[in-house]
Amino acid sequence: MINGLLEKLRVPFVKDQDSRKTSFSNNWLQIILVSSVGVTALIWGVRELKWLQPWELRVYDQMLRSRPPQPSDRRILLVKITDEDLRREKWNLSDTKINQLLQKIESYQPRIVGLYLFRPEDKNLAANKQNQDNIISTCLFSSIGRSEIPPPPNFDIDNVGFSDVVADNENDQILRRGLLFAHSTDEKCTTSFAFGALIAINYLEKQGIEYKFTNKGDFQLGKTIFWRLKPNSGSYQHLDANGYQILLNYRHPNYLADQVTLTEVLSDRVNPSLFKDRLVIIGTTSASLAPGSFYTPYSSLPDQPARMPALFIHAQIASQLIGTVLDGRPLIWYWPDWVELIWVWGWAVLGSTLAWWWRNPLLLLMMGGVTLVVLVGICVILFLQAGWVPLIPSGLALIISIISVMAYTNYQNQRQTQVIILQVEKQQEAIAQLNILLEDKTAIPDSQLDFTPTIDSSQTKSGDLLLGGRYRISKVLGAGGFGRTYLAQDTQRPGNPTCVVKQLMPARQDSRFLQVARRLFNSEAEILETLGKHHQIPELLAYFEDNQEFYLIQQYIEGHTLSEELPPIQNLKNESFVIGMFKEILEILVFVHQHRVIHRDIKPTNIIRRAEDNQLVLIDFGAVKLMQPPSSEQTELATVAIGTRGYAPPEQFAGHPRLCSDIYALGMIGIQAITGIPPQELHPNPETGNVMWRQTAQVSEELAVILDKMVCYHFSDRYQSATAVLQDLKRISIN
């Protein structure tokens, strides 16, 4: 019990990074959630203000125009009264002429005749027609600045449909909706049926298909329900949905229906079979007699007139109703608001995710472009199935989410870089003080230079030691000087995952040295914590001090070191191996050097080929090695500098490492792979100091030039950034 109590008292405060790592692993979820919800709320708010509606309607028009044209509606025949017909009749269509036309058409046995002509004074219209019930006439409601146009006085109101239509007056005056029913307050034009709807209903009634209104007030023809537009239907926001409106599913104007002219009918130049059992619509296309013409989604086509006569609008409405009931032609459908909201949010989530995972701006631009094309493709495919899905809001959500997450991550990276720069400055101060203290040995008693580690071999073998109250040591991975590396299990995490414990024992135990070493250790740990966020650098899980010894707990990377892949002389590596290895490590160095951190000890044993995905992982960072005595593979200057003989450049052994020092070390690994000769066995040029290696290898001139520049003796002659090396390597690949 006493031993257990002492052990508890002995357990130090552990600065555990598990919560930070868990926070980091959940952080991306939080960032994606917050950014996507925020962007969706912004887009939805802007949409509610109707700022996006003009764009959405233009996209709707474009998709409507882009559909493959359907065959003409063979159930409808248009008898046009053109300007040429009016000139022939001297601009006056007499009652006799209209009745003559109706009588001739009646002889051809049409099913329904729609007379889209305004004849409020014609008391004898269709007077000689045997069956007046199958003739539908029209009238016009009164509105602001316009009086009503009553129907012909000899027509029953049940055979009269109003001519009024509804255009998007708030946007661009384009007519996209079909008005089927409306309540009238006029004295004479009292019908509730639109002309186009009434002629279609009468046509279908002759075929035994009745109309009715459901209990919910929806208009039904046969088994087909024509859903009524609501104020927020599709991409419309706060629409004036008075009356009974539906989205007008246009046929291409060139493929609407067969068309003949008044003159052709009266002169018997028309095949009578064109009329038999059809819906015949008679009307004028002349601006002088028609009550109006309208902009449509097809107005922007070069082969179409700017405005479509009202005659064709009502023919479109009639064709839509008949085609939907008899042919199963789909109605244009749209999602309710809550589904559209989820749709927009989903693309915001996707944009945020892309921006989080693809940090490279060029790759992100490419992936964002591909995703945007996919979005457009999905919307087009759905529209070909008559589905009107919001494209502009979802596209904006995708783009703005990408931009917002990019801006956030860049801001966070800048903050992290500033933090690391501050830690690097502290690190350099601590290194300078350590150098001074290591050189001054006169004031240090020998007893403080001789101590034994707290973890002995018996504890390691038995597995009884629980370091920091949670890490069970299972195996010694390496030992040198006063530092050791262990394999351990984390007993406080599910499954007891394996981790690496690095025990760092300062070279001296005096308080001044420990104080500086502690500052160096803490600053180094903060740096490693940030660097460990790269997927090819081990994560720092925790760090703490125990009994004047320092411990780093890092992610365990299962695999083998690069030294196992480097050849003897008889099994040299080819250029593709070296270039591939360079690209992987240089990508890591780009990230590390962006934070102004120098690895200081790049060598084959510090590069692991990860078994999980075969990627190279860079391990064993650290200026904390400065607090340790030299190991067998280090030079006599290793107490004031870090580096391995052969891989470290001259300025690093002089205590002045630079970013390009890491590039030198990587270049020496490349030369070792090609020549099979360890770097410490290569000789320098006595005049320049540069390593002489070309005579021992066969390599292309392009790669040889890059290697020479990587390992120049003087740092100013080398590549100054990992990005510059990558650019030159890509040129080799291109060539």
Strand partners, 177: 166, 247
With b for 16 or more beta-carbon neighbours within 10 A and e for fewer, the 9-46 pattern comes to eeeeebebbbebbeeeeeeeeebbeebbeebbeebbee
Handedness of CA 188, 191, 196, 200 (dihedral sign): negative
Strand partners, 173: none
Q: To which residue do tokens 């291109």 refer? A: 734
Specify whether the CB–CB gap between 251 and 319 falls below 8 A.
yes
> Of 680, 684, 681, 690, which Cα lies nearest the Cα of 718?
690
Write the DSSP assignment of 312-352 as a string of letters: HHHHHHHHHHHHHHHH-PPPPEE--HHHHHHHHHHHHHHHH
Secondary structure letter of residue 159 according to DSSP:
G
640 membership: H or E segment, kind and range: none
Tokens of 690: 């540069």
C-alpha count within 13 angstroms, C-beta hemisphere, residue 239: 25
Give the burial class of 74: count Cβ atoms within 10 A of its Cβ; 0-12 exposed, 13-18 middle, 19 or more buried: exposed
Q: Give the three-class secondary structure for 561.
A: strand
Q: What DSSP assignment string belongs to 668-680?
A: HHHHHHHH---GG
The enclosing H or E element of 599 equals none
Q: How many CA atoms lie within 13 A of 356 on its CB side?
A: 21
CA distances, 274 to each of 76, 523, 645 (Å): 9, 91, 98
Q: For 492, left (φ over 0), alpha (ψ -120 to 50), or beta? A: alpha
Q: How many Å apart are CA 450 and CA 466, to the nearest integer? A: 25
Q: Which two tokens stand for residue 683?
A: 């000789």
| 102 contacts 126 by C-beta, under 8 angstroms | yes
Using CA atoms, how far residue 173 sits from 59, 66, 295, 652, in Å, is 15, 21, 6, 74
Which runs of E-coded beta strand occur in 27-174? 73-81, 112-116, 135-139, 160-162
* First vs last C-alpha separation in the chain: 73
Distance CA 553, CA 546 (A): 13
Q: Are 486 and 503 in contact (CB under 8 A)?
A: yes
Residue type, 381: I
The answer to whether residues 623 and 524 touch, using CB atoms and an 8 Å cutoff, is: yes
**Residue 663 near residue 641, CB atoms below 8 Å:** no
The answer for residues whose C-beta is within 8 angstroms of residue 311's C-beta and 6 or more apart is: 78, 80, 116, 281, 283, 284, 285, 290
Dihedral sign (CA 512, 516, 519, 522): negative
Q: What CA–CA distance (Å, rounded) separates 718 from 541? A: 35
Catalytic hit among 546, 601, 620, 662: 601
Is residue 502 annotated as involved in ligand binding?
yes
- Integer Cα distance of 349 and 537 in angstroms: 28
- The phi-psi region of residue 650 (left if phi > 0; otherwise alpha if psi is between -120 and 50; otherwise beta) is alpha
Q: Tokens representing 470?
A: 């949670």
464 labelled catalytic: no
Output the known binding site for ATP. 502
Q: Which residues are identified as catalytic?
A: 601
Output the known binding site. 502
